[in-house]
Structures are given as structure tokens and as C-alpha cells.
């Protein structure tokens, strides 16, 4: 077919003649490098129970089981996480442990709270003990205290909620904690009494 006189000549892009010729292998290598960094960050970042364990280990608590039931949470939730307020309102049985790693009383109570949870059978009714670290969420503790009367201003404390209502509270300040035997008995009794309340 012959060219006609009115045909426009083809445009030549004289400004983009120097296009980079990056091989697909280079792009794959760069993507692989960033993916490896992301995977390493995810793998090396301790999960919630590991963070609690390490916090208490820093203060010499070495008897806490690695598979403890504690799960740290804040009172108010966020866009992607439920808060303790919502969990108490929506779940049938909720146990809340209030303390912090630097608290000497909390250091003596955290192991019995973790071990008696399973040995008394409380783990048949709920799978976690929600841990509120008051140093990380003081406003949340104040909101929890305002919503549910009876909380002490000291730590440690452990509370049992059934259908959104606090039915049992153990506060170390109001109990005999003179020996580890008494602490163990107090925590065991808390769980056993709690199971009785759940089954009532």
C-alpha cells in the first residue's frame, strides 16, 4: 500500500531513548530482599505472651510457665484490636489480672495466677487471663474501676466477670499474703470459687 501525501510521519520520542534496561532478576532480588526483612521482623518480634514473660523475667521471676494464659490488653480497643471493655461486655466468662512487672506483690502472684488457672480447671471455661498492665494503661484502669465498683487502688488484683458483671475480686492488699503458701491458697481458692460461681 503506497503512502499518501497527507499521511503524518510517525512520532519518534527523542527524549526517552535512554530507557533503563533492568533485568527481571534484579527486580525479583529487590522484592525478595524486602520480603526477607519483613519476615525477619515478624519472626523476631516477640508475641504477646513472650513479652509478658520477658517483662517478669527482667525482675527475677523465673517460675512463670512459658505457656502461661496471660494476654496483655488495654481497656479501650483500637481499630484492629478489641479492648477489655468490649470483651467484658461480650464474652460470658472473663478473668482480668491487674498488675505490672516491677510490682513486688505482682511478682509473687503471677506464677500462681498462671499455674492454678490450668490446675484448677478454670481453663475449661475461658482460655485466657487478660492482663492489664497499669503502667501501660492507667487511664484504662481508672475507666475499669469507674465502670465496676470494688477495685482497690493497689496491685495485684484478679477479677472474674460473668456476663459483663464482676462477681469475684481478689486484691492482695485485702488478703493474707505473708507467705507463698498463703498466696497459693488465695489464688487457688479464687479459681475454685469462680468455677462454683460459673456453674451456679
- The closest alpha carbon to 147, from 136, 135, 132, 125, belongs to 132
- The pLDDT value recorded for residue 38 is 82
- Cα–Cα distance, 1 to 184 (Å, whole number): 99
Query: How confident is the model over 140-198, as pLDDT tens digits?
Result: 999 999 999 999 999 999 999 999 999 999 999 888 888 999 999 999 999 999 999 99
Name the band, by pLDDT with cuts 50, 70 and 90, for residue 118: very high
The full length of the chain comes to 200
- Tell me the pTM: 0.78
- Cα–Cα distance, 164 to 85 (Å, whole number): 9
Q: How many Cβ atoms from other residues are within 10 Å of residue 71's Cβ?
A: 15
pLDDT of residue 45 exceeding 80, the answer is no
Question: 11-20, 68-77, 117-126: which range is least confident on average?
Answer: 11-20
Pick the CATH number of 48-199 from 3.40.50.300, 3.40.30.10, 3.30.565.10, 3.30.420.140: 3.40.30.10
> The C-alpha cell of 133 is what?
498492665
Amino acid at each position: 500500500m503506497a503512502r499518501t501525501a497527507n499521511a503524518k510521519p510517525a512520532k519518534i520520542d527523542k527524549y526517552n531513548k535512554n530507557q533503563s534496561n533492568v533485568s527481571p532478576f534484579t527486580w525479583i532480588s529487590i522484592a525478595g530482599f524486602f520480603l526477607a526483612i519483613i519476615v525477619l521482623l515478624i519472626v523476631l518480634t516477640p508475641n504477646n505472651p513472650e513479652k509478658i514473660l520477658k517483662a517478669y523475667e527482667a525482675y527475677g521471676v523465673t517460675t512463670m510457665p512459658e505457656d502461661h494464659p496471660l494476654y496483655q490488653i488495654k481497656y479501650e480497643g483500637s481499630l484492629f484490636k478489641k479492648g477489655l471493655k468490649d470483651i467484658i461486655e461480650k464474652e460470658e466468662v472473663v478473668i482480668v489480672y491487674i498488675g505490672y512487672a516491677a510490682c513486688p506483690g505482682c511478682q509473687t502472684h503471677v506464677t500462681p495466677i498462671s499455674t492454678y488457672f490450668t490446675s484448677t480447671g478454670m481453663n475449661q471455661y475461658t482460655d485466657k487471663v487478660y492482663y492489664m498492665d497499669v503502667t501501660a494503661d492507667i487511664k484504662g484502669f481508672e475507666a475499669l474501676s469507674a465502670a465496676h465498683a470494688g477495685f482497690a487502688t493497689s496491685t495485684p488484683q484478679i477479677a472474674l466477670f460473668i456476663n459483663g458483671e464482676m462477681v469475684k475480686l481478689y486484691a492482695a492488699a485485702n488478703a493474707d499474703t505473708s507467705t507463698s503458701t498463703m498466696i497459693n491458697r488465695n489464688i487457688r481458692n479464687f479459681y475454685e470459687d469462680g468455677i462454683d460461681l460459673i456453674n451456679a
